Structure 1
Amino acid sequence: MLRDSFGRVATDLRVSLTDKCNLRCTYCMPPEGLDWLPNAQLLTADEIVRLVTIGVERLGITEVRYTGGEPLLRRELVDIVQRTTALEPRPQVSITSNGIGLAKLAVPLKEAGLDRVNVSLDTLDRDTFKRLAHRDRFEDVIDGLAAAHEAGLRPVKVNAVLMRGINEAEASALLRFCLDKAYELRFIEQMPLDAQHGWSRADMVTADEILALLSADFDLAPDDTEERGSAPAERFTVDGGPGRVGVIGSVTRPFCGACDRVRLTADGQVRNCLFATEESDLKAAMRAGASDDELAERWVVAVKGKRAGHGIDDPSFLQPARPMSAIGG
């Protein structure tokens, strides 16, 4: 199993399929974009499936989430999902997406076995969307959410990041929208993973502030119907239920002690934490002829070195050189 020195076991694998994205969200990358990885450096579809198979069949991975960049930009996505859901034991398979293109792909992905989607939506205002994402694609995201719900990729989860002075006033409107559509909303504290390294704690809307904003319009109660376990979100019932909302306080309410995640970048590097400063190269070993046993052993060693926590509050904290788009969510 993928067990670290603190006894945590990684069962949730996040796999980045590409570092490319068709939005330029301000908390992720600059308006002009980034220098994308050359195609030759990206894992091929066969290499991705091989490593995921090792994770599932040999190392105890039970959940696989495909991320990016934007995973819908990966042409082989449907095939990769289909091959992943055919594994034994079958893992839960999901994607995290910006929703652009999901209107066309929701049904093929459902037919390939995809279980659900997480879609980013930070605002319900088209002009604010353009300001945040530097692209006029608001309606595409809304259409993608509706298509995913209609295709049965439920529950459709919505990820929202509130930014001070930009969209924090929309907290309640976003929750009303998701409740009306039967989507599950998750607010996520803005994390220091932007390519510009411009993150500031003072500009971040904290979990406490998010709950205060929502409590002005809704009656929130801790959801104790199920144990939180390793889930990153603290969940709350809204107005007595059945609607719920989650808050992921990665910075101010870290959940590192129960973390069960491990990440594989689009160029084949194992990262045992979003904020890790070290990586373990599986791609080079694989292309040099390493066996599945050898790759599994490298993976085990990589996870053993996981630190106790992300250390954002430590004065020695260094933001990872790679931004979120290159790591995978």
Structure 2
Amino acid sequence: MKDSFGRTISYLRISLTDLCNLRCKYCMPEKGVCKVEHKDVLSLEEIYEVAKVFVSLGVNKIRLTGGEPLTRKGIVGLVDKIAKLDGVKDLAMTTNGILLKKYARDLKLAGLRRVNISLDTLDEKKYSQITRGGRLKDVLEGIEAAKSEGLTPIKINTVLIGGFNVNEIEDFVNLTKTEEIDIRFIELMPIGEASKWAEENFVSNEVILNKVSALEKVERLDPSSPAVYYKLPYAKGRVGIINPISCKFCEYCNRVRLTSQGKLKLCLHSNEEIDLKDKLRKGENLEEIILNAVKSKPESHHLEDGQYISDSMYQIGG
């Protein structure tokens, strides 16, 4: 399945819910989160049907996201069904890790390959502050459970926030010395709730290389990966740098997103959406609709021109 610019679309990110058990300040408002009516959310059966169509069209990598995907009832059964689809080579999940200790073993047995875990600080008080009440202990135990069950390689996603965690860059990088973990630093993106933060708290990821001069660039094996990877000498893990603002990677984009409400997003930074839920429930030909939609995938985003989107990441899918 190719778009009009010749890019092969092989990666689908599925948001299972816009609900979350945390309230991270740059992602969700403290109060006033509009709850979506049950009928407006894709059922697990519908998610599976859409995934099956995408796989039949050549998608071989699927990532389950949220909100927090582990808050969705029936998650293990859905993982089991998607993992068994002929053609799925990689089934992963992005999670805040709070519930991983509870679910890691069942997820691995069901067919989940690996996890990305969102973690912006290694300081207990700061973690509680940024998440509005989360416990760092729960995440660390979740990481240990994922390691124990083989949900690897584990990637830690860290959003770099000015005035908050820049002083912890070395601490995160040092985790890679003895652990087979990838630490990925992500620039704060002006999306939804974060657009209120972005201008004041944005820090270019260049600061990482300035702070840790021993990092050495490693060969880029996958051009579609948004991360450029580095390593400390003799380290077990890697350090990834993702620069969606200061350095585009649209040329190699191979992904599309499905929101929990059944909207197909062809670009994270575009307000354009195609309603697959409505078409699925009407019995329309999803294969043809998806193929036509992919042809309209934009060549690139325009964040550098100040064209921000209004939805927050918890509504789109992390």
TM-score category of the 2 structures, normalised to the smaller one: over 0.9
Contact 1:24 1:33 in 2 (8 A): no
Alignment pair present for 1:250 and 2:244: yes
CA distance in 2, matches of 1:127, 1:199: 20
Give the counterpart of 1:268 among 255, 262, 269: 262
CA distance in 2, matches of 1:133, 1:33: 16
Gaps of 5+ in 1: none
Alignment correspondent of 2:215: 220
Alignment correspondent of 2:292: 301
Cα deviation digits, residues 67-125 of structure 1 (max 9, x gap)? 00000001111111100111112331000000011001000000001000000111111
Residue 156 of structure 1 and its aligned partner are, at CA, apart by 1.1
CA distance in 1, matches of 2:129, 2:69: 23
Alignment pair present for 1:324 and 2:313: yes
CA distance in 1, matches of 2:89, 2:264: 19
Amino acid at match of 2:158: A
Residue 34 of structure 1 and its aligned partner are, at CA, apart by 1.4
TM-score by length of 1: 0.93
CA distance in 2, matches of 1:196, 1:188: 13
Q: 1:180 to 1:38 in 2, by over 3 A?
A: farther
Residue 320 of structure 1 and its aligned partner are, at CA, apart by 1.5
CA distance in 2, matches of 1:324, 1:156: 21
Give the counterpart of 2:83 among 63, 82, 85: 85
Contact 2:94 2:116 in 1 (8 A): yes
CA distance in 1, matches of 2:276, 2:37: 17
Provide the alpha-carbon RMSD of the alignment. Answer: 1.4
Classify the secondary structure of the residue corresponding to 2:116: strand
Contact 2:192 2:310 in 1 (8 A): no
Contact 1:228 1:234 in 2 (8 A): no
Cα deviation digits, residues 255-292 of structure 1 (max 9, x gap)? 011000100000101000111111001100111122xx
Alignment correspondent of 2:138: 140
Contact 2:16 2:259 in 1 (8 A): yes
Q: 1:214 to 1:150 in 2, by over 3 A?
A: same
Classify the secondary structure of the residue corresponding to 2:280: helix
Alignment correspondent of 2:99: 101
Contact 1:190 1:205 in 2 (8 A): yes
Alignment correspondent of 1:51: 50
Q: 1:221 to 1:197 in 2, by over 3 A?
A: closer
Q: 1:50 to 1:313 in 2, by over 3 A?
A: same
Residue 196 of structure 1 and its aligned partner are, at CA, apart by 6.0
> Where in structure 1 do 4 or more consecutive aligned residues deviate above 4 Å?
none
Cα deviation digits, residues 224-282 of structure 1 (max 9, x gap)? 1x523101100012124443110111111110110001000001010001111110011
Give the counterpart of 2:303 among 309, 312, 315: 312
TM-score by length of 2: 0.96
Classify the secondary structure of the residue corresponding to 2:196: coil
Alignment correspondent of 1:238: 232
Amino acid at match of 1:326: Q
Residue 202 of structure 1 and its aligned partner are, at CA, apart by 4.8
CA distance in 1, matches of 2:278, 2:251: 31
Residue 205 of structure 1 and its aligned partner are, at CA, apart by 1.5
Give the counterpart of 2:182 among 181, 184, 196: 184
Classify the secondary structure of the residue corresponding to 1:123: coil
Classify the secondary structure of the residue corresponding to 1:118: strand
CA distance in 1, matches of 2:222, 2:205: 16
CA distance in 2, matches of 1:69, 1:269: 15
CA distance in 1, matches of 2:18, 2:161: 23
Give the counterpart of 1:277 among 261, 271, 276: 271
Gaps of 5+ in 2: none
CA distance in 1, matches of 2:253, 2:103: 31
CA distance in 1, matches of 2:287, 2:61: 17
| Count of residues in Structure 1 that have an aligned counterpart in Structure 2 | 318
Contact 1:221 1:240 in 2 (8 A): no
